[in-house]
Chains A and B, each alone.
Chain A
């Protein structure tokens, strides 16, 4: 049996027994039941599995579970505070920035990561930062609108 791995996810401590190279995403979903982070490709290409590790957005399908020991992990389930949506979640709601919404968790986590490092990004910076998140339904303009809104910037008319 593998040695227990100590994790801190959404402020809670967990001890899990998995092979050390297991993707963090698998542990989050299959062991901890945190299924808000999605499997979209398993190759770090689509961004649906994005979580914050020590505050930085990372593709959890590409991160071995053993490498996040001692680093706080935040998933989409950890964003709400006192039952209230995070401002980025609220901005996505206000913009209606989803269709099938399978990409939405990853989009929101990437957006939170972007705004933590750059509270007032330009459109070019938003596009550059979000390039790794795929939305197959084509909701990109509303995601950009939601990020602008969350950053407290003027909204342009919705297309």
Chain B
């Protein structure tokens, strides 16, 4: 009779509902190097395009204003009446104010664009960094010899295929260890059963018992790691 309780092999299905982690603003920047690189490239590029084209717009507008101003000065030199003088004084000021407004509008739109782009890109890259972060956590557990159950990704995450391949690998490794553990347990039980059937030599028998005990502890510990 075997007096050793069979170690519990954990099932491959999680025991209870796991807490659902939601995205939070504080942890959007998971992989700074990966995320900031892409965010900076796109934002700086957009800034350069918007800046240079914005300058071109301002330049063209200013050229038109200058030309009109020059015409007004010439007109005022020819006709010395009050109406022309008023035009010469008011129109350039009005055009300069419009030019300034245009510049401020463009700066405002550019800043808005940068802010919106940065936010959107952070979210977009987070959908890549998130799964990688999660897999890294499982990697750390595997490094400690813990091969537990892997949960699914959140909805909207990218790299679903990659994560699925990780999950398949993890399940396969886990299943193999579970099977091995079960086989070792079975072998342990069989060897303990057959202890009276062999050619007994006291020292060797004691050594086998000792090794079987160690193996039993090893199997129990492995079962914990697979939980």
A and B found bound together:
no
